[in-house]
């Protein structure tokens, strides 16, 4: 099958198009012919080797973390899916590889595609929708009437998180650029801070939750806008010991992660709030929870641009250069 693989870590030059063996299908696996995949910052970080310590993929490996497609084969123990089903998924972190014609995915990580979406739209959702769900529902336990700040509201995670937070009954603030103010308002943002004109930490106060996808100084300043007992959840900040434990990492790596986040956690304690790092997990069950919201129009995908499969490297470069105006970049196989 055709695929885009990482031949060596370290940047764009390490990715090439080529032929790879068709996937082996285990008893619990669903074999999917991929119709579309999407590009995430995680793909760039993986390509560059930023996660080598915790996700030691052996080169060459196929890149890609989101898919929508059609089931063309099932393992002997598969009970949820049949050949011909239209599905979408974020494969488990140990089984990535959606920039390819075929992929074998454990049935627990797959869900039937929302009926109202095209393949390209569906492919844009799994990773970011699961991230939003795991941050706001699983970890923050966001409730009606609470206030949440979602950074980078026009980004992949932000566009979905705003809509999910509104569905959950929260008051939503977000940061974005001048060009995307109307977009984030249309998604449901109640308070919009134009980061080019205002410092969010000077205008927002007493928030229950912050979902941070930027890290660095943004995360540091976010602690100031939380009320006592508030929660800062970051997908871009330093990993913590809890994440190391979740990964099953050895004690040395867990200690290193704890050290990386020490300053952030100490700063959080000074503000009487908590900090946690989120690395989203694959979950077909959670996608099935999200699908009715998508089909009902409560959550809609935002797609910036679609590239043909042969231009996957260009799609990665487009995202890396920050050229996407809003939402996700998609690669289509058909």
Q: What is the pLDDT of residues 186-244, one digit of tens each?
A: 999 999 999 999 999 999 999 999 999 999 999 999 999 999 999 999 999 999 888 88
Inside any domain, residue 283: no
Given pLDDT bands bounded at 50, 70 and 90, which one contains residue 273? very high
Between 250 and 154, the more confident residue is: 154
Inside any domain, residue 293: no
131 and 270 assigned to the same domain? yes
Which residues share a beta bridge with 191?
Answer: 173
Inside any domain, residue 296: no
CATH code where residue 188 lies: 3.40.50.720
Inside any domain, residue 286: no
Residue-range definition of the domain harbouring residue 152? 127-277
Count Cα atoms within 13 angstroms, Cβ side, for 57: 25
Number of domains observed in the structure of the chain = 2
138 and 104 assigned to the same domain? no
**Longest Cα–Cα distance in the chain:** 58
Whether 249 shows a pLDDT value over 90: the answer reads no
The pLDDT value recorded for residue 250 is 84
243 and 272 assigned to the same domain? yes
> What per-residue string of b and e applies to 203-237 under the rule 16 or more CB within 10 Å gives b?
ebeebbbbbbbbbeebbbbbbbbbeeebbbbbbbb
Inside any domain, residue 289: no
Whether 334 shows a pLDDT value over 80: the answer reads no
41 and 58 assigned to the same domain? yes
Give the mean pLDDT of the chain: 96
110 and 139 assigned to the same domain? no
CATH code where residue 44 lies: 3.90.180.10
The pTM for the full model equals 0.97
Inside any domain, residue 268: yes
């Amino acid at each position: 099958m055709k695929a885009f693989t990482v031949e060596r870590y370290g940047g764009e030059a390490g990715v090439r198009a080529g032929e790879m063996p068709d996937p082996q299908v285990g008893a619990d696996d669903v074999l999917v012919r991929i119709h579309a995949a999407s590009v995430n910052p995680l793909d760039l970080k993986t390509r560059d080797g930023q996660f080598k310590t915790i996700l030691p993929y052996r080169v060459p490996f196929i890149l890609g973390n989101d898919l929508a497609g059609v089931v063309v084969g099932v393992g002997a123990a598969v009970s949820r899916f049949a050949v011909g089903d239209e599905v979408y998924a974020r494969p488990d972190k140990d089984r990535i590889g959606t920039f390819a014609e075929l992929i074998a995915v454990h049935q627990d990580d797959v869900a039937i595609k929302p009926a109202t979406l095209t393949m390209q739209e569906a492919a844009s959702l799994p990773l970011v929708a699961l991230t939003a769900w795991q941050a706001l529902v699983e970890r923050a336990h966001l409730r009606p009437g609470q206030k949440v700040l979602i950074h980078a509201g026009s980004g992949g995670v932000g566009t979905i998180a705003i809509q999910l937070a509104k569905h959950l009954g929260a008051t939503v603030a977000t940061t974005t650029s001048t060009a995307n103010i109307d977009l984030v308002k249309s998604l449901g943002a109640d308070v919009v801070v134009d980061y080019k004109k205002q410092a969010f930490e000077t205008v927002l106060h007493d928030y229950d939750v912050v979902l941070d996808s930027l890290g660095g100084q943004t995360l540091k300043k976010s602690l100031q806008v939380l009320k006592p007992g508030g929660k800062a959840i970051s997908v871009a900040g330093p990993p913590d010991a809890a994440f190391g434990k979740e990964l099953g990492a050895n004690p040395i790596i867990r200690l290193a992660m704890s050290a990386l986040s020490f300053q952030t956690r100490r700063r959080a304690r000074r503000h009487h709030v908590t900090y946690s790092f989120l690395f989203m997990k694959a979950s077909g069950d959670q996608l099935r929870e999200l699908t009715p919201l998508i089909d009902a129009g409560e959550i809609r995908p935002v797609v910036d641009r679609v590239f043909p499969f042969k231009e996957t490297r260009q799609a990665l470069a487009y995202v890396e250069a920050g050229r996407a105006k809003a939402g996700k970049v998609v690669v289509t196989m058909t």
